[in-house]
Structures are given as C-alpha cells and as structure tokens.
Amino acid sequence: MAGKPVRPVSAIDQTRRMLSLVTYLRERPGARVSDVARAFGITEDELISDLDVLPLCGTSFRGGDLLDIDTDGDRIWWRNPGALGAEAAEPLRIAADEATALLVAARAVATLPGLREGDRQALLRATAKVEAAAGEAAGASARLSVTFESEGGVFADVDRAISERRRLWIRYYSPGRDELTEREIDPIRLVSVGHTYVEAWCRRSEARRTFRLDRVAEIRILDEPSAPPEIELRDLSEGLVQPAAEDPEVVVEVSPGGRWVAEYYPHDSADELPDGGLRITLRAPDPASLRRLALRLGRDGRIVSPRELADSARRAAREALAAYDVPAGDGGPAARAKPSVGEEPRVGEGLPEGPHGVQDGLYGRQEQQL
C-alpha cells in the first residue's frame, strides 16, 4: 500500500544516512542488505551505493584508518569496527530540520478526525519522546503547522471497511450536478491532502473513483467482502484531479477579482490580460458541471467557450432573477447596492472571495468528477 516516497538525493541526505548506517552496522555484523535497506527506507541499490562510498571514509588524520566495510551483495560485514574509536559511532542527535519534519507531520496526522484511538495514542507518545530527545532542536517545529480535514465518523467507517475488507454503501454528493447518488464502493486507501479522500473501486461506474469524505452524506459498512480489482495505485502527490487530455476545453476570462480561478482549478494555461486579469484554459470531463463557476464569477469573469456553457449560466441567472421579481438587465437599485466583493477585500490581504475547487472545503466545492 506504500505510496512512492520522495527520494532524497542531496549529498547532505546521503551523508546523514551514511553516518546512521555506520552506527547501525556496528551493532549488526553480517546484516542482510535487504533488511538494512528496509530499515532505512531506501532501495537496495541506494544502500549498495552507500557501501561503495564508506570504504573510502575514515578518520584519516590519524593515519589512514579507512572503514573496512564489505558486502557480497547479500550480507554486509564491517571488519574493523574499532576504526572509529569506542564512541565515534554513537547515534547522532536530531537536527532542527529533522525535528521539524517529523514533529509537524506527526502533529498533523494525530489531529486527523477518525484516526484510530490506539494509533493516535502511539503517535502522541512517539511525538513526546522525539521532542524530548531533540531538545532545543525541536523549538523551530512550532513555526510550521499543518491541518488535515476529515469527517471523523466517515473516516472511521472507511478505515474499518478497509481493514476488514468489506464493501461500503454511500450516499455521495456531486457538486457539479448538485445531486446525491447512492453507490457501493470497494475502498482501497484513505488519502489526506488538506482534505481527506477515499480512493475506491466504484461498483456503479465500474471504475476507480476518489470520494471526498465531507461529501459523503451517509455511509454503511456492508456484509459483502470488498473485492477491488488489482489496479495500479496512482501517485497522488501531484493532485487528485488530473484532467485527461481528451476532456473538452473550457476557456474563462477573469478580471483581477477572479484570479482565484487559476489557484483553485487545475488548468492548461493562464495568460495575463492587459487589465490585470487572466485568460484561463482548463479541461473538464463534463463542462456543464462548470455552470456553478460561471454563476459564481458574476462580474469578475465570463465563460468564453464553450458557448453552451455560457448560455446555460445566463439562462439560470435569468430564471433565478424571476423569483426576485426584479428585471434582469436594467440595473435597478439593487444593482448598485454594493461593489462586488472582489473589489473590496474584507480582511487583511484578501483571499479569493470564496474558495472552491479542488482543495477547498467550505462553501462551493466544484470538484470535477470526484
């Protein structure tokens, strides 16, 4: 189930790793290459490349005592563990960046609503111990923080269904169509990237689908076993929504007040316009689902193409206005009631006037096809 970890490549990372490796190998004569690679979270090739460097290292100012570390590709032998002296291979203290990386991530995961209580307790205990061991180096970790959002009850049910390999029934909200649909899904994994999602095999569409937990209106664990087909897990680190090249193109022009569109919607291009606005080209499997965006933009932008999308937004707006008993186009008193919010950011530096799109949570939530 492991996601693809990011491979450290810098000389600093390799040096850090080799220093720990020396300590580790000293305690374990004849350690297996495969075991050591797993313990260090690296590939066997990476380990072998470290083992190629180590025999060239030592405390050479004392007369050339290089480390006599050797491998036959299966086991690793260190023939002169005394070369570094009695104390010189002790575990090293944790650096500020290391403490920050571990502690910030641990605190974020520990606050995930729905995490199993046992796991949360283990995480909190580990965090406290690492914090104590890191000492002063832990201080800077308070300057970084991350919140994952999740629906605790839904999370717990999905987590249980995955570990018991059972099918789920959900009632799920699709913002693009503003409708709730019922489906049975075979859950594969939970992914938190700001929001938390379940990746699953959807029995209704017979396809892989990703569902955002806060859009699950109802959930039940079924008695049937879950049987997702063997599918290759995607690397989701670059974003959950990856529009396909064959999806229809949508072109939107926005004024400065609508620039947030480029921050919330994955897009092919965003070209600057002379007035400080943008011309954004994006792709959507179902352009009709972008009617919400067109309505939301108001005077801060317009759909250039496809034409049907622009027309349907216009029609929807006229129909909505009819209920207010005001004419659609003449700029009655209400039309000047207030500048559009985009012109007047309310607080501080001004966020987009209401986030929606892939990563947001609160109001809108356009998320194509999720």
Which residue of 80, 237, 242, 269 would you call a contact of other proteins, by CB under 8 A?
Answer: 237
Which residue of 98, 247, 306, 369 would you call a contact of other proteins, by CB under 8 A?
Answer: 98
Name the strands in the sheet holding 249-254, side by side, starting at the edge strand that comes first in the sequence.
269-272, 278-283, 249-254, 301-305
Residue nearer to other proteins on the CB measure, 144 or 205: 144
Q: Is 203 in the site for other proteins (CB under 8 A)?
A: no
Cα separation, 185 vs 220, whole angstroms: 11
Give Cα 331 to chain centroid, integer Å: 44
Cα separation, 89 vs 26, whole angstroms: 8
Ranges of H-type helices in 165-271: 260-264
Instruction: Considering only residues 130 through 169, tell me which ones interact with other proteins, judged by CB under 8 A.
Output: 130, 132-133, 135, 137, 140, 142-149, 159, 162-163
Which residue of 168, 270, 297, 309 would you call a contact of other proteins, by CB under 8 A?
Answer: 297
Name, in order, each residue with C-beta under 8 angstroms of 42's C-beta and a sequence gap of 6 or more.
17
Instruction: Considering only residues 319 through 348, tell me which ones interact with other proteins, judged by CB under 8 A.
Output: 319-324, 326, 328-329, 331, 334-335, 337-338, 340-343, 345-348
Assign residue 40 a region: left if phi > 0, alpha if psi is -120 to 50, beta otherwise? alpha
Which residue of 353, 367, 368, 370 would you call a contact of other proteins, by CB under 8 A?
Answer: 353
CB of 355 to other proteins, least distance (A): 6
Stretch that binds other proteins, among 69-77, 128-136, 205-213, 241-249 (CB under 8 A): 128-136
Provide the terminal-to-terminal Cα distance of the chain, rounded to the nearest Å.
21
Which residue of 37, 96, 251, 304 would you call a contact of other proteins, by CB under 8 A?
Answer: 96
CB of 190 to other proteins, least distance (A): 5
Q: Is 313 in the site for other proteins (CB under 8 A)?
A: yes
Q: Is 307 in the site for other proteins (CB under 8 A)?
A: no
Instruction: Considering only residues 56 through 95, tell me which ones interact with other proteins, judged by CB under 8 A.
Output: 56-62, 84-85, 87-88, 90-95
Cα separation, 265 vs 257, whole angstroms: 15
Cα separation, 28 vs 350, whole angstroms: 57
